[in-house]
Amino acid sequence: MTTPQLIIQSLQDIDHNDADLHKIIALSSASASKNISPKVIKLEGVSIDEKQWGNIQQHAFAKAWDVTKMAAPLSLSDFKLVAMDMDSTLITIECIDEIADMQGLKPQVAEITEAAMRGELEFQESLIRRVALLKGLDASALQQVFDERLNLSLGAEAMLKAVQRAGLKTLLVSGGFTFFTDRMKSLLNLDYSHSNVLEIENGKLTGKVIGTIVDATEKQKTVERVCQELGISSQQAIVMGDGANDLKMMHIAGMSVAFRAKPIVRSQANVALNFVGLDGVLHLFA
């Protein structure tokens, strides 16, 4: 019979004499503590109720540590697919906000983006409103954003290399735009991508999106479709995201990872990585 584990991770070396670490160990009633690395500690044989788990999370958050509760040890080989949101998950920016900056409209567009990611505004409506503000912008602005502003999130490359080496397929599914997802798919050797198509006429954005909008429901359907193509269950998928429009696809996954996510997403995910990089997910596997 397996017993639950807690995995504590930090960007800095963890001091084993730290008072908060000792509080977490006491709260968890851990039977053993293992140092996976100077920055990662695994507590085994833990026994905690919801109140204790909440207290543990508070102590960890105050120290800028990520703590994950695992009901049982998992192996990367238990999974066959990693599905990722793009903006603010695989990459550090919201592409549409940076495109809007070329129009001098970043504050207005970013405000709508934030409301949608917090779940306060329906995604389709928010995208239509934001894209409309881009009407007339020269399409060369997209390449400028890609060249000058787009960066991979911390640990993204290491995470992808590890899962690809382990034989997992990769899917980039985004409420963003094909201009960026197509380039990321090629650059990172991803297997699948799906996102929105910006309409461009005479070298300028029309302020419209072509075809089906990739919202929360479409993201879920895409993960389900790819799983079906691979002949696997959605429980064999790891799904990573940061905003409310990622929740539907996260809910069908065997492991859901909230990365630098909004509170509504953190609270519903299996794993919340608030401080370490995306490669922090690798430390959760035995």
**Annotated active-site positions, please?**
85, 87
DSSP one-letter string for 77-127: GG--EEEE-TBTTTBSS-HHHHHHHTTT-HHHHHHHHHHHHTTSS-HHHHH
Classify residue 267 by its DSSP letter: T
CA dist 141 and 172 (Å) reads 22
Q: Which of 261, 62, 78, 269 is nearest to 153 (CA)?
A: 261
Q: Which of 239, 119, 209 is nearest to 195 (CA)?
A: 209
On whether the CB atoms of residues 46 and 30 are closer than 8 A, the answer is yes
Q: Which of 110, 88, 113 is nearest to 180 (CA)?
A: 88
C-beta neighbour count of 258 within 10 angstroms:
27
Cα dihedral sign, 251-53-26-277: positive
Residue labelled with tokens 């302020």: 207
181-184 own/partner pairs: CB under 8 Å, 24+ apart: 181/86, 183/146, 184/86, 184/90, 184/91
CA dist 97 and 267 (Å) reads 26
- Return the SS3 of 68: strand
